Structure 1
Amino acid sequence: MTRLTRIGGPTVLVELDGRRILVDPTFDPPGREYAFALGTRSTKLLGPALGIDELGPIDLVLVSHDHHADNLDDAGRGMLGSAGHVVTTASGAKRLTSGADALPTGRVTGLRAWESVELPGDEQRGLEPLEVTATPCRHGPPLTRPIVGDVVGFALRRPGADGFAVWVTGDTVWYGGVRDAADRLDVDVAIVNVGGVRFGITGPLHYTMTGRQAVSLVQRLEPRVAAFAHYDGWSHFLDGPDGLRTAVEAAPSELQDRVRWLPDGRSVEV
């Protein structure tokens, strides 16, 4: 069984066969402006639909990248120590396990695209092992990776299964690596990050998929269920909820039937 709870921004609680998985924890209140690379900045406009104290225990945190506050903010970073395990990028794992607030190295796994880790099950709770595979992302135009940093998505697979139960795309533009992932992965539930991120200082350059590109991904992937994340709540989303809904409504009915619009703060079985 898979349940999804949209908390806000990229933050989604995934409950998969009893395992509680938190994606990109962001729990800071709204109103603050954050700095990114190349002098870009963005203001958080909406707070989380649930607070950390309302989540309950978390078995696994998936951090697509640790160096942008709209994917891991101060409050989200502070709760990592209470989670059972953290999976992130290889470079992010080094940062999270060093410094004054370092996490124990045994509780953090860093992955590069197409690397996998199998997390152990828990017989007492009836949890089976879970395979986590990192998938490719490019969080900006070509050649910007040294500036914007490493980002990965995550594909989750049950033991012995051919397909993947859940794929979280992570923050990425629509490019060859994502198209390749869509061709390679057989996915039941896809969580697609959208938003069409742009900044005035870098002009027309995009840093995440637009609504139309997200629709193209869903058409190519053909998951049973497609849900969307990270498309509202920040000032740098220039193709936000309206653009996404317009793109979905213009898509064929067969694609629209796959889409589940997640309510804020409510667990939904998908």
Structure 2
Amino acid sequence: MNVQQIRNATITVQYAGKKFLIDPMLADKGAYSPFPAGFREDVRNPIVDLPMSVDDIISDVDAVILTHLHQDHYDDVAKKVLPKSIKIFVQDEKDAKQVINDGFQQVEVITENTIFEGIQLVKTQGEHGRGEELLKAMGEVCGIVFIHPNEKTLYVAGDSVWYDGIQNEIDAHTPDIIVVNAGNNVWQSMGSLIMGKEDVYEVFKAAPKAKIIAVHMEAVNHWTLSREELERYADEKGFSSSLLIPEDGESYTF
């Protein structure tokens, strides 16, 4: 297995001989308007360049996974450059309809037991923020677990804060590798949309033997947790040996 951080939530996963592209935001730096955060709203998104060419990112991809359809997970460039015949997995029929309307021909709703080329893909739950108002505004999201007899179990948690649903997924699947979206991004004055440092610590406590990879950091204007601060916090709490915080373009083989 190889997991490569591209930028923001965009990663590639090479697993059991197949390459997956997850949550592709492929636009050039500054292509989109900033998100409403109450700060850094003079900075257009994405706020950093891609670490490699789009052609290199999408080369040899066997399937795309969209945990949800927010712009920083599925953008106009991805819609344009991905082959319309590529396999795309989405969380529900609503998202499937949208992706089909975008011209893609092989769109499948992921379930708790989806099989792709011998790899079991399991849809997992998530909450894109805290509180009824924020959850309603953000809509449904999902994560994904990868299972194969010749690979370690990988859990990509997606855009979620820590809550008992994440605990339940960890208990159910005992993942060896966990990818968390950990920039503590915020929405207006309504609070955090994804994990902050305390949430990541909860993931560690729930799965102390797993390797945790923190992504979705320092790439769009509404981030509030830096790589440096998360690393310092992990040192203070004693779990830095379990935590990987990749720079854009960095990859890990397990």
Q: Matches of residues 187-226 of structure 1 in structure 2 within 5 Å? A: 187-199=175-187, 201-203=188-190, 205-226=191-212
The verdict on how the C-alpha distance between 1:82 and 1:245 changes in structure 2, with shifts beyond 3 A counting, is farther
Q: Which of these residues, 95, 100, 103, is aligned with residue 98 of structure 2?
A: 95
TM-score when normalising by structure 2: 0.87
Tell me the distance in 2 between the aligned counterparts of 1:141 and 1:194.
15
Which deviations, in whole Å up to 9, do the C-alpha atoms of 1:38-83 show, x marking residues without a partner? 99977321121122211321011111111x1111111122234357
Q: Secondary structure at the match of 1:247?
A: helix
1:173 aligns with 2:176: no
Q: Which of these residues, 80, 83, 103, is aligned with residue 81 of structure 1?
A: 83
Tell me the distance in 2 between the aligned counterparts of 1:187 and 1:24.
20
Tell me the distance in 1 between the aligned counterparts of 2:82 and 2:139.
21
1:118 aligns with 2:115: yes
The verdict on how the C-alpha distance between 1:185 and 1:167 changes in structure 2, with shifts beyond 3 A counting, is same
Pick which of 80-89 and 5-14 moved more: 80-89
Tell me the distance in 2 between the aligned counterparts of 1:76 and 1:171.
19
Runs of 4+ in 1 over 3 A off after TM superposition: 32-43
Count matched residues: 248
Gaps of 5+ in 1: 122-128
Residue number in structure 1 paired with 2:2:
3
Identity %: 20
| Structure 1 contact 60–84 (Cα < 8 Å) conserved | yes
Tell me the distance in 2 between the aligned counterparts of 1:39 and 1:231.
18
Tell me the distance in 1 between the aligned counterparts of 2:146 and 2:97.
23
Q: Which of these residues, 251, 256, 265, is aligned with residue 237 of structure 2?
A: 251
| Structure 1 contact 61–83 (Cα < 8 Å) conserved | no
Q: Indicate the structure with greater strand content.
A: 1
| Structure 1 contact 135–154 (Cα < 8 Å) conserved | yes
- 1:84 CA displacement: 3.6
Higher relative contact order (CA 8 A, sep 6+): 2
The verdict on how the C-alpha distance between 1:33 and 1:39 changes in structure 2, with shifts beyond 3 A counting, is farther
Tell me the distance in 2 between the aligned counterparts of 1:34 and 1:14.
29
- 1:209 CA displacement: 0.9
Which deviations, in whole Å up to 9, do the C-alpha atoms of 1:210-239 show, x marking residues without a partner? 022112112212343221110111110112
Q: Matches of residues 65-76 of structure 1 in structure 2 within 5 Å? A: 65-66=68-69, 68-76=70-78
1:182 aligns with 2:182: no
Specify the code of the residue in structure 2 equivalent to 1:116: N
- 1:266 CA displacement: 4.0
Residue number in structure 2 paired with 1:63:
66
Residue number in structure 1 paired with 2:135:
145
TM-score when normalising by structure 1: 0.82
The verdict on how the C-alpha distance between 1:36 and 1:77 changes in structure 2, with shifts beyond 3 A counting, is farther
Gaps of 5+ in 2: none
1:158 aligns with 2:142: no
1:49 aligns with 2:37: no
Residue number in structure 1 paired with 2:24:
25
- 1:11 CA displacement: 0.9
- 1:152 CA displacement: 0.4
- 1:7 CA displacement: 0.9
| Structure 1 contact 164–186 (Cα < 8 Å) conserved | no
Tell me the distance in 2 between the aligned counterparts of 1:261 and 1:167.
16
- 1:22 CA displacement: 1.0
